[in-house]
Structure formats: C-alpha cells, structure tokens
Structure 1
Amino acid sequence: MTAETVDAVVIGAGPNGLTGAAALADAGWDVLVLEEQPEPGGAVRSAELYPGFRADLFSAFYPLGAVSPAFAALDLESHGLQWSRSPNSFGHPLGPADEDAVVVAREAADTAADLERRCAGDGEAWTKLVDQWNEVRSALLQLLLSPFPPVRGSASLLRALGPAEALRFARMLALPVRRMSEELFGGEAARLLLLGNAMHSDIPPDAPGSGVMGYILTMLAQDVGFPSPVGGASALTDALVRRGEHAGMQVRCGSRVTAVDVEDGSAVAVCTASGERIKVRRAVLADVSAPALYGTLLADSAAADRARDDLRGFEWDTPVVKVNYALGSPVPWRSPSLSRTGTVHVGADTNAMARWSAELSTGVIPESPFLLFGQMTTTDPTRSPAGTESAWAYTHLPRGITDDESADVLAERVDAQLEAYAPGFRDTVLDRAVQRPSDLESADANLVGGAVNGGTAQIHQQLFLRPAPGLGGSRTPVGKLYLASAGTHPGGGVHGMCGWNAAAAALQDQKRTGPLRRGLHTLGRRVMS
C-alpha cells in the first residue's frame, strides 16, 4: 500500500488550524487537516443541549474575530458567516444590590453620557479614549497580531502618534489595569469597564500586561461590540471549513495524530492512531499545545529534548468551569440595563476582583467568584425560542485544581452568585449543564486541565517568550514544522492569527509566492473598519 503524500498536514481543526490550512491552500498547496474529534472546530463549537436551545460549548463572543486580518482576508462572510451583537456590548454591576449597572452602549456618545452622569469628567475621558483608539486601531492590531518582531505595526503606530505620544501610549499599555483605570477615570463605574475585561485573562489586576487586555477588549466593545455568529459558534467553524475546501483543503475528522516523524532535522511525515503514515513535502502545522508538540508528537526527536528543557517553566492558565443554562424567561436582573446586554461581568467591584485573583493565586476556591455571563439569545435571537434565554457562565478554579468535586462546588457558587444579582434566577432554569475542566479537555485536547488560553497570558509567557524562551514564534527547532496554536504569539482568543502566521512562515521558508505572502504587506489595511 502506497503511503499518502501531501504538501502539508495541519494537525487540529480548530480556528487556527483551519485558518492556516486555508491560507496554504490559497497558495496552491495540497493541504490535509487531521482532527482527533468527530467534528471540526476545536473550542469553537455549539450544540443543542436542551430542545430548542443552541449553546456555545466553549468560546462564544468574538471581538478579535470581528477585526482579525486573517478572517478579513479569507472573506468568511462570502462563505456564510453572519455576525450578530446585542444592543449593549457588556455591563458590570457594582454589586448585588446595584439597580443601575454601567454598560457599554452601541454608540460611544451614549456610553460617554452615562459615564458623565455617574462621575463628572468621565464622559469626556471616555470620548478621548475612543478617539485615541480610532487613531491607533489599525496600527495597534497589526502590532499585536502579526509575527514578532512587529516591525511594520510598530512603525505604523509611531507614524500615527508621533514619538512623544507613542511613548505615553506605550507607558499606558504597560500599566497594570487597576493603575490604568485610576489614571484614566475618576469614578468606579468607568474603572470597572476596564477591570472586568482585563479579568477575561489570567493576569492579576495589579500585574503588568493586565492593562493591555482591559484596554483592547473595552475599546473593541465600543467599536465592534462583542459579536457572535448567527446560529452559534459552529457557524464560524463551518465558514472556515467551507472557505478552506473552496481552495482545495481536505478535513479528516476522527484521525488522531500520534507522532511527527523527523529525518535530517526536518518533519517528513505524521503518524496517526489508526496506523497511517502520511508524508509531507513542505510543512506540518501543529494546532496543538506546546507541551503536546514537544512532549508527545516529537518524543523521539533530539530537537524535542532541547525544547523540553526550554519548556520547563511553561505555565498553564487557570482552569475553567462553565455552566450552561436553558432559561424559560429572561434573567430577572436587579438592574434593567443588563437585560439588553450580551456579556455581564458578575460578582466583583474593584477590591473584590483583587481578592478573587488573590484567592486563585493562593489555591482557594472562591466563595464569591467573579464570573462572565453570556446572554446568547439577547445577542442572537436564533439561539432559543422567543421569551427565553440561552445563557452560560464561566469562572476559574485555582491553578492546579481540576477535580470534578471542586468544579461542582464552584458551579453551585456560580448559581448562588447569579441569584444574588438576579433574584429569582433559579426559578427560570429549565436545564443546566456543567462543563468541568475534565469535560473541556476530553472535548478538546488543547484545553489541558480546563485551561482555555493555550498557556498563561502573563508577560513572562507572551510575545517572543511564547511558549518559552528560545521557542518564540511559529517556527520550531525542527525544519518544516510550525506551531500554529494559541501556544504561540499572539496567543489566546479566536482570531486565527496563530495559524495565519504559521502559514506565512511556511510559505516564506519555501520561498513560495501567492495570495498570502502578497497579503502580508497589507494586513493593516485589511483590518475591518
């Protein structure tokens, strides 16, 4: 029997793998995507967990996807993708008794007016921040999402701001989010907008790097909202699959890759659990975690021995516990402003967020967890029958605590937290399904121990240090082998750029020209406006 041979194998059909595969197929390569699970998507999948209710099983809101240069270049809208967003992007009540929670409205002027009502001067500060965002948006996204070092993005940002303002802007981004929010706003409501978004990652609010996350997500919320695909997260995956197949990509599910064969320092084939050995002419893109690539798939490679030494300090992000709800009626929030809001940050004012972060850092299961709450029918009315709500909440266990018992304890505390902010919430629940860290990992091997970010987002494991010193970027010590997952820069979030950058590196190394290489020169201009 003759072994199958293709130009490139992509390991994993998550958004990064599918994006990289489509880019290579566009360049004329023969590309095969191998996926362990019975369906593609990785952590971008949805399902009907209760009759008539469509639930997103992992990720749900995609502000980075809406501005992704890769998704824009692939023109996913022409392959069926439609975005939907809620009237208010997100909100953050000050506490359980808050009947007037602050929200980010669709129009910046409305958000500013609400902030000014709460604290004199904060409306003007918000307007200035949005004006600044509009000025730096394209250059900053190019800087943050393109391969490191981001020469083109840095130059664009410098031109946009000038040397003096660029230095001030760089200082602002380097601030911990608590300090950033205090410098920008006088009132707690406005500060919470930044702080709550910073907590989407595992960076403590007093640590450098948290400010970047808070700023980016808050400004994207005002810019493009927190959009979700019409029909569920799987609609984004379906569009990526259709786009890649349009260019000739093949996807083969139920095919777990067990090894990457290396000869003379380069990847030459991949082996699967079913005994197949598929040869590659040009590249292997691995949309897998960094520890899985170097610790399992390259187990017999000398290059992997060196890489494993570099990965000794690798740190996962904190485990996630997610609770999915089918609600028979809208959430009975104390604050009416939250009823038109897609994402709600629940459970913490400024000091409570710091305490929650400290509990996670010290191994304490939070008694009063900070959580993200998604109202999916509010965002996309196709998700459940009229007058109902498909919703979810997720929060974190301390790093290293992943057992089912602890997860169930935390899930009960999530229910209690929601009841405190929305009395009568429990009475609306038709059905409830908990996804523990073990459930997340069994459904997607990249979500090790319930970590959803591919490794901590803290500064010591970002940029050229991601996934580890000496292993930064998509290129690996093995020729023709590229890391294409969230384990490499620019990291977590559904934007496809890890796969896009890996495909760009593979094409560059093969000295190939094509649509992707030409497109790299105009990434900044391809960012969606």
Structure 2
Amino acid sequence: MTPSPTSSADAVVVGAGPNGLVAANALADAGWDVVLVEANDTVGGAVRTAEVTAPGFRNDLFSAFYPLAAASPVIQDLHLERHGLAWEQAPRVVTHVFPDGSATPIERTPEATAAVLEEQAPGDGDAWLEMVEQWQEVRDPLLDALFTPIPPVKAGTTLARRLGTDGLLEFTRLALLPVTRLGEERFVGEGPRALLTGNAMHSDLPPDAAGSGLFGWLLCMLGQDVGFPTPRGGAQSLADAMERRFTAAGGTVRTGARVEAVEVSGGRAVGVRLTSGERIGARRAVLADVDAPTLFNRLVGDEHLPEAYVRALSRFQWDHPTLKLNWALDGPIPWRSPEAVGAGTVHLGVGRHGFIDHSAAMATGRVSREPFVLLGQMTTADPSRSPAGTESVWAYSHLSHSLARDEVGLEATAEGMRRVIEEAAPGFAERVIAEHVQRPADLQAANSNLVDGAINAGTAHLHQQLVFRPANGLGRPETPVVGLFLAGASAHPGGGVHGACGWNAARAALGAEKAVRRRLLRTAWSRLLPS
C-alpha cells in the first residue's frame, strides 16, 4: 500500500521546461489545482539565460531563436505578451556562409530573399516565391496537424481538401524527400540548397535521409513567415512569462524539487516522491515533461509497464550530442561576407558536399574536419543582451555519440569550430573577452533531459516519429500507466519550443477525466432506471 502523501493536488506536472509550463497552464485554465515541480532552481528547462561569459552579457544556455513558438497556435493562445513577453527580430533571419566567403541570406520578406537568389542564379527567385506560395496554402492546417495528437483527423481533412488529390500526393512526396534532393529539384544555385540543408540539420537527420527535406523546408518557410524571433532580454523571458501566467491562474511552482519516483498504485499514477522524501499526491493525473527513458525506466519502473513496452523502449534512439561555445565580444563579428552582418542565425563551415562529410563524421565516430557550425548573434537580434557596441554570441555543432565524453575529441571539435569562425570572420578571436564552453555532459548536468547533450529528446528519424514516438504505440501522450501522461519532447511531435507536447498531454488528461465522469454518470443512471 502506498503511504499517504504529504500534500496533494489535482495534478502534478514534473519538469518546468516549456512543455511542462504549457501543460500546467492548460490544466490551471481548466480549473484544476496544479503543482509544477522542477529539479533546478529556475524554471525553463532548455529555455534559460544567464551571465556565464562576462558581466552584462546575457547568454542563452540552450535554445535561443523560436520560429516554432512564433507560429505555434499553442504558444500564441497563451497571450504571453500580457505577462511581460516581448519578441525581437534581427535585421536578417538566417545566412549561410560558404567557405569561399560567398553567402546567401533569408531576408525578412520573401520578395527581398527572392531578389538575392535571382541575382545569384536566374530562376531561383521565382522558385523561392513558388515555395513560399506553397507554404501559405498549407500553413494553418499543416501546423494544426503537426501540433495535435495522432491521428490529426480534422487538420488532415482540411489539408487534403485544400490540396486535392494531386496536390496531396505532391506534398507527401516533399515530406519524404531527402533535403539534398529537394534542393536539387527546386533550385539551380547552391545558396537556397544550402539554406534548406542547413535548416534541416537543426535536427539530427543527415541531408540524404528521407524526411530531412520536410525539416529544412519547414524551418526555411517559418523563417520567411514569422522570422527567427528571440525573447527580449533572453530566452529566460519566455519561461518567466509562462510561469507568471501559471501562478496568476492559481498554480503552484516548486523549484529545487527533484522527483525521485512516480508513485503507482493499482496500475494508476497517484503522485510523486521527491528526493527529499516528500510525497505529493495527484488526485487526477501526473504529467511528465521528462525524457521517455528516464520517465519509464527510472521514475516509474519496468515492473509497472507491459513487457512489450519495456522491450520497445530498449530500442529508444537519442539524437546527436551537442557541443556549444558562448562568447562575449568587445565588438561585432568582423565577417568577410556582408550578408552575415545583421543575421541573427548564421550557418557556416561547409559547402554542398561538406554537409555530407559532417554527417558521415557523426555516423562513423570521428571528429569532423570541417564541422557544420550554427552561430547566433544575440545582440544583433536583441540589443539588451550586452553593453552597447559589443556582441553576445554562441555557436554549436553536433557530434557523434562516441565523442560525447571524449575530452580530446571535444577539444578538437571546439578548435575546429573556432577555426571555421575565424576563417569566415578574420579577427574574431581578437574580439573575444571571455569564452564559456558547454560540453555534452555540461548540458545534461544543467538539464537532465539533455542526455549527453541531445537537444531533441530522441532522434527525428522516421522510425521514431509519429506512432513510433517514443516507442511503438499510438503517437499520443497516454502511457501504459493510467493517469500518467508523457508531456516532454520524447512525445509526438518532438523537439522544438512549440509547447505541443505539453498541450497534448494536458488535453489527454482533461479528456480522460471527462471520460471517467461519463462512465460514472452512466453507471449512476443505470442504477436509478428500472431494469
């Protein structure tokens, strides 16, 4: 028998990352008494900011730019601007810088981007505008389909009706294309091909993998639609606004409270036990913004799960580790490429074949000779991030799992990243006031969901998407334990700050509660009515 809890609530939400915060807000809006527990002393999960380089320089520790949040109906419906959130945009969305110094940007408007592409390769400007027109046609039903549980019946029906049979087949083909093939089919020049491929590699999909085309296309089109916005003052501002909204709705936040176990009685989640020994009961549900292996194998325990589910979870695949460098600079980055000036996000280090070489290095466990580097110019996007005339900068690169805790390999990768940036911006090193390194183990220590620096809570490969995420099942937040819902990015639709995983879990919990009430009502009526 489970001992009586120290306290209780209608629901306990474990983890105050963006998904946990969204789930907590949704339940509080429904009138539930909700306790949100977070192991760290600060809410936000992978949405956090701190001064880790030099005084006055605000560095986003994990994520930084949020096109998915800006487009997500889940985030937008929270109206976080009423709770202090404001967005900033860089003059340019993203620029890809080639090793020879040439560069291709996504500008703030489709027309401006098309003009650059047309100048670089005649015909590519019109091809870009055609792609934007395709995006505008499918935008709303597609986002609804992506951000709702499987199967997305209503959104899918709307999408099919809008596209027609031929259009739906064509779009399905696009969704399955490798991004390299998508670029070759649509464009003549290397610029737009690199933009598509670089954005696809924000996931862990190699550029020749099926499905990578959809990732690249989606991020490019979001960048052209809503930009790559960043919260004024730092990523932490987004998390703080969510927390303020939740507490204003009556919710309770407990930071510095690490969960030791999800308590299960009679096959149902009945609460959580903290490492302090305190117990918090859950009268209606437990929602976990926790990676799937940690939730099921450690917090719940295999003994409470069907054998087939345990077996399926044993095949869970993580996405690639991440190495991140943060800098405080005494001035702007001295780019060789004018197109990189004013870009919030810069992709650099590789040309057409370099993407494949970098992916091959990750697949074979070697240090990439020419790493693909993603860089953020945060003061360019948001002047509040550092003193006037300076720049707050980060860069990261993905690497193989075998290098995640190999100090020699990590330093070689970091040195390769520094070299790539110096070649693209001679004099960069001379502007560095301070550097702060986040190794994969450091990322995990700061946020336990980022296992070995994997930032998407599981691979984006097709074998672990949709009904296969996080394991064979329905692609939904319900779990084999009654009253326990997976609210983290290991659930469909996966990584990214869009809040859908938390929102879907909250909807499932509310729906389960309604189903229970309906069953009880039917039972009561059956007893009252004559036989």
TM-score scaled by structure 1? Answer: 0.95
Match of 1:311 in 2: 313
1:166 positional shift: 1.4
Question: Which one-letter code corresponds to 2:201 in the other structure?
Answer: M
User: Larger Cα Rg: Structure 1 or Structure 2?
Assistant: 2
Distance 2:499 2:327 in 1: 28
Match of 2:432 in 1: 429
Deviations along 1:264-305, one digit per CA (max 9) or x if unpaired, are 211012111000111111000000010001110112633165
Choose which of 56, 81, 85 in structure 2 pairs with 1:81.
85
1:51 matched to 2:36? The reply is no
Deviations along 1:6-52, one digit per CA (max 9) or x if unpaired, are 10000000000010000000000000011011111100000112111
- Aligned pairs for 1:111-122 (under 5 A) are 111-122=113-124
- Aligned pairs for 1:205-220 (under 5 A) are 205-220=207-222
Identity within the alignment, %: 53
Match of 2:129 in 1: 127
1:209 positional shift: 1.2
1:495 matched to 2:498? The reply is yes
Deviations along 1:227-269, one digit per CA (max 9) or x if unpaired, are 1000000000001001111111111011111111111211012
Match of 2:185 in 1: 183
Match of 1:290 in 2: 292
SS at 2:193 equivalent: helix
Match of 1:416 in 2: 419
Distance 2:164 2:328 in 1: 51
Distance 2:152 2:456 in 1: 21
Match of 2:473 in 1: 470
Deviations along 1:78-101, one digit per CA (max 9) or x if unpaired, are 111111111110000222x22x41
Distance 2:302 2:37 in 1: 21
- Aligned pairs for 1:114-513 (under 5 A) are 114-299=116-301, 301-303=303-305, 305-403=307-405, 405=407, 406-470=409-473, 472-511=475-514
SS at 2:353 equivalent: helix
Q: Cα distance 1:251–1:361, how it changes in 2: closer, same or farther (>3 A)?
A: same
Q: How many residues align?
A: 511
Choose which of 65, 82, 93 in structure 2 pairs with 1:61.
65
1:159 positional shift: 2.1
Distance 2:403 2:485 in 1: 31
RMSD: 1.3
1:25 matched to 2:28? The reply is yes
1:404 positional shift: 5.2
Match of 1:527 in 2: none
- Asked if 2 retains the 8 angstrom alpha-carbon contact of 1:321 and 1:407, the reply is yes
Q: Cα distance 1:422–1:265, how it changes in 2: closer, same or farther (>3 A)?
A: same
Distance 1:408 1:401 in 2: 10
Deviations along 1:318-343, one digit per CA (max 9) or x if unpaired, are 10000001011111111011111000
- Aligned pairs for 1:87-126 (under 5 A) are 87-95=91-99, 97-98=100-101, 100-126=102-128
1:306 positional shift: 4.2
Distance 2:174 2:313 in 1: 31
Q: Cα distance 1:54–1:68, how it changes in 2: closer, same or farther (>3 A)?
A: same
1:349 positional shift: 1.0
Segments of structure 1 that go 5 or more residues without pairing to the other structure are 514-529
Greater Cα offset, 286-295 or 2-11: 2-11
SS at 2:59 equivalent: strand
- Asked if 2 retains the 8 angstrom alpha-carbon contact of 1:59 and 1:233, the reply is yes
Question: Which one-letter code corresponds to 1:48 in the other structure?
Answer: E
Deviations along 1:311-368, one digit per CA (max 9) or x if unpaired, are 1211101100000010111111110111110000011111110110011001111121
Deviations along 1:166-203, one digit per CA (max 9) or x if unpaired, are 11111112100000111111111111110110010110
1:496 positional shift: 0.9
Distance 2:491 2:352 in 1: 31
Distance 1:307 1:481 in 2: 15
1:401 positional shift: 2.5
1:215 positional shift: 0.4
Question: Which one-letter code corresponds to 1:77 in the other structure?
Answer: E
Deviations along 1:421-457, one digit per CA (max 9) or x if unpaired, are 1111100101000000110000000000111100111
- Asked if 2 retains the 8 angstrom alpha-carbon contact of 1:404 and 1:438, the reply is no
- Asked if 2 retains the 8 angstrom alpha-carbon contact of 1:262 and 1:301, the reply is no
Question: Which one-letter code corresponds to 2:25 in the other structure?
Answer: A
Distance 2:492 2:22 in 1: 15
Question: Which one-letter code corresponds to 2:512 in the other structure?
Answer: D
Match of 1:516 in 2: none
Question: Which one-letter code corresponds to 1:265 in the other structure?
Answer: G
Distance 2:474 2:446 in 1: 27
Deviations along 1:358-403, one digit per CA (max 9) or x if unpaired, are 1100111112110100000011111011211100000012023211
SS at 2:77 equivalent: helix
- Asked if 1 retains the 8 angstrom alpha-carbon contact of 2:302 and 2:310, the reply is no
Question: Which one-letter code corresponds to 2:80 in the other structure?
Answer: L
Choose which of 35, 38, 61 in structure 1 pairs with 2:41.
38
Distance 2:366 2:402 in 1: 11
SS at 1:499 equivalent: helix
- Asked if 2 retains the 8 angstrom alpha-carbon contact of 1:310 and 1:470, the reply is no
- Asked if 2 retains the 8 angstrom alpha-carbon contact of 1:294 and 1:304, the reply is no
- Asked if 2 retains the 8 angstrom alpha-carbon contact of 1:319 and 1:396, the reply is yes
Segments of structure 2 that go 5 or more residues without pairing to the other structure are 517-531
Greater Cα offset, 500-509 or 295-304: 295-304
Question: Which one-letter code corresponds to 2:471 in the other structure?
Answer: A
Distance 2:9 2:33 in 1: 6
- Asked if 2 retains the 8 angstrom alpha-carbon contact of 1:482 and 1:506, the reply is yes
Distance 1:181 1:419 in 2: 28
Q: Cα distance 1:474–1:2, how it changes in 2: closer, same or farther (>3 A)?
A: closer
